[in-house]
Amino acid sequence: MSKSDVVVIGNGFAGLMSALVSADQGKKVTLLSYGAGTFPLNSGVIDVLGYDDSGKAVANPAQAVSAVADEHPYKKIGIQALEESVKFFQDVVAAEGFPYVGSLNEQQWLVTGVGTLKPSCLIPESMQGSKCFEASEIVLVGIKGLKDYYVDMVAENLAKELGNDKKYTVVTVDPHYQGARDLTTKDVAAWMDTEAGYADFVSQVKGNAGAGKVILVPQILGLKGNVVYKKIVAELGCPVVETTAMPPSVNGLRLRDVLLSALKKKGITVIEKAKAEEAVIEGSKAVAIKAGGEVRLQTYNADKFIVATGGFYSGGITMRDFGEAKEVVFGLPVECDCFEERWVNKQLFSDKKQTFAKTGVRVDATLRGVDESGNVVLENVYVVGRNLSGYDFCFEHSGNGVALASAYKAAKA
């Protein structure tokens, strides 16, 4: 394979965005992918910062990002790159016909699959839970046979969140499903993509739609961007809101498909099932990656490398023993409080960050790995996303935000 300007390793949100921003800079990009990334698991919404260090809910992400600790990736990335990355992302998805609403100056609200409310920063039009705030009646749609969606529980919890001065009505739609296995939101979304399925659904819900109401549905409004969403809002004449979902998450898959489509338009080469195994280093630079394939590794040469391999969760960092954490492909220095007694905070849902979650590659403000004295290890290797040290995405709700901003900064460097 001929040489690329940039090789991106990893195909989660950070990897895809790194590839897109690099290609936008006119670079020839090859992306090495392995597995599906976190897309089928997360709801495809971009949290930037949901909770600050003390666990307090963040109202204005831009402000809160400016106040993070020095070790935090946002500090190194800087607010300007974050702002530009948000604009870049919103432009990309809008050009693909799948716009995301939101800004860094306020939070958006999601209704979760159990009926609670959750903040996020950038979300697709179909998930704007705030539309429920003004409504006088919420019509909650359940789907007969749908796994893991208990509409009565959603109604009960939502009433606790939004108060009892609203009316909560439950409608159950029968998708006339005849299959032998459990029905998932993905199956229902595929049904909604068919003309017959869509018409059937609308006919069962239409009687309950109307002014002042909001229709709340599980994540079923089709698999293709916001096509079904736009159609159904126009047809029902009132807002329709999707909740977040259990895996496989329909909106995560939508976002992945939309980004892959953008990658294709930019002429980015994606190599599937190409697990990066070895780096070829010359002096202080990487010159190639060996990856893949059945039987023999293929060599991918480039001038610049972006490591988006997802940290512990996705195999970018491993640890055989305490104190021996390492970044797998380049052996970049990993920063962690690697002592058994401090490794986990056993109260899983406590108000403290998890030590293991903050483990990651130690980088400087250019997002290149640095040794303990702060010297750059490999001049042309950049680290992004869940590979970075110093934050607990789960605790603070910043996963895709850090992924986006770091990808942007590394690709622009």
Partner 1 sequence: MELEERARDSADNCIACTSCVAVCPVTKANPDYRGPKLVGPAHNRMHFSDENDYEDSLKLCSNCKNCDITCPNGVSVATLNMLERAKYYKAHPEKHTQADQMLSHNFQMADMLKSIPFGRTCANIGMSIGEAMGMMGAMGIAPQRKSPRFATKYFREMYKEIKQPEGLTKEVLFFPGCFIDTNDPEVGVAFVKVMNANGYKVLMDDRFKCCGSPLVVGGYLDEARSHADNNVAIINEYAAKNIPVIACCTSCSLMLKAEYTELFAQEEMAQAAKNVYDAFEFLTILAEKGELKKVHVSSDKKFIYHAPCHLRAQGMGMPAVDLLKEIGVNIDSADAGCCGMSGSYGFHKENYETSMKIGSELFDKINASGAHKVVCDCGTCREQIKHGTNAKTTHPIQVLAKAYEQ
Ligand X SMILES: Cc1cc2nc3c(=O)[nH]c(=O)nc-3n(C[C@H](O)[C@H](O)[C@H](O)COP(=O)(O)OP(=O)(O)OC[C@H]3O[C@@H](n4cnc5c(N)ncnc54)[C@H](O)[C@@H]3O)c2cc1C
- Residue from 4, 6, 7, 12 in contact with ligand X (CB under 6 A): 12
Told to check if 197 binds partner 1 by CB under 8 A, we report no
The identity of residue 125, as a single letter, is: E
Told to check if 367 binds partner 1 by CB under 8 A, we report no
Site string for ligand X, 266-285 (x = CB under 6 A): ---------xx---------
Told to check if 320 binds partner 1 by CB under 8 A, we report no
Residue 227 binding result from partner 1, ligand X, none, given CB thresholds of 5 to 8 Å by partner type: none
- Residue from 186, 213, 358, 368 in contact with partner 1 (CB under 8 A): 186
- Residue from 35, 40, 78, 145 in contact with ligand X (CB under 6 A): 35
Told to check if 309 binds ligand X by CB under 6 A, we report yes
Minimum gap (Å) between residue 166 Cβ and ligand X: 26
Distance, CA of 370 to chain centre? 27
**How many residues make up the chain in this entry?**
413
Helices (H), 334-385: 340-343
Rounded-to-integer distance, Cα 222 and Cα 124, Å: 13
DSSP 8-class letter at 332: -
Find out whether the peptide bond into 248 is cis, omega within 30 degrees of 0: yes
Radius of gyration of the chain from its Cα atoms, rounded to whole angstroms: 22
Minimum gap (Å) between residue 326 Cβ and ligand X: 12
Segment lying near ligand X (by CB under 6 A), choices 45-53, 132-140, 182-190, 360-368 = 45-53
Segment lying near ligand X (by CB under 6 A), choices 39-47, 214-222, 225-233, 297-305 = 39-47
Told to check if 93 binds ligand X by CB under 6 A, we report no
Told to check if 292 binds partner 1 by CB under 8 A, we report yes
- Burial label for 6, CB within 10 Å (0-12, 13-18, 19+), is buried
The identity of residue 188, as a single letter, is: V
Told to check if 115 binds ligand X by CB under 6 A, we report no
Sign of the alpha-carbon torsion through 180, 115, 191, 38: negative
Rounded-to-integer distance, Cα 287 and Cα 284, Å: 10
The pair of structure tokens assigned to 49 is 């910062």
The answer to whether 102 and 123 are in contact (CB under 8 A) is yes
Segment lying near partner 1 (by CB under 8 A), choices 60-68, 133-141, 177-185, 375-383 = 177-185
How many other C-beta atoms can be found within 10 angstroms of the C-beta atom of residue 391? 25
Helix (H/G/I), strand (E/B), else coil: 5: strand
SS3 content of the chain, % helix, strand, coil (to 5): 35, 25, 45
Residue 13 binding result from ligand X, partner 1, none, given CB thresholds of 5 to 8 Å by partner type: ligand X
Q: Please, which of residues 373-412 interact with ligand X by CB under 6 A?
A: 385-386, 393, 399-401, 403
DSSP 8-class letter at 126: G
- Residue from 21, 45, 263, 367 in contact with ligand X (CB under 6 A): 45
Minimum gap (Å) between residue 181 Cβ and partner 1: 4
Residue 403 binding result from ligand X, partner 1, none, given CB thresholds of 5 to 8 Å by partner type: ligand X
Told to check if 107 binds ligand X by CB under 6 A, we report no
DSSP 8-class letter at 386: G
Buried b (16+ CB within 10 A) or exposed e, 349-384: eeeebbbbbbbbbbbeeebbbbeeeeeebbebbbbb
Residue 264 binding result from partner 1, ligand X, none, given CB thresholds of 5 to 8 Å by partner type: partner 1
Contact positions vs partner 1 (CB under 8 A): 1-2, 34-37, 40-41, 177-181, 183-184, 186-187, 190, 247-248, 253, 264, 269-275, 291-296, 298-299, 314-315
Which residues of the chain form contacts with ligand X (CB under 6 A)?
9-15, 32, 34-35, 37-38, 41-43, 45-47, 275-276, 308-310, 313-316, 328-329, 385-386, 393, 399-401, 403
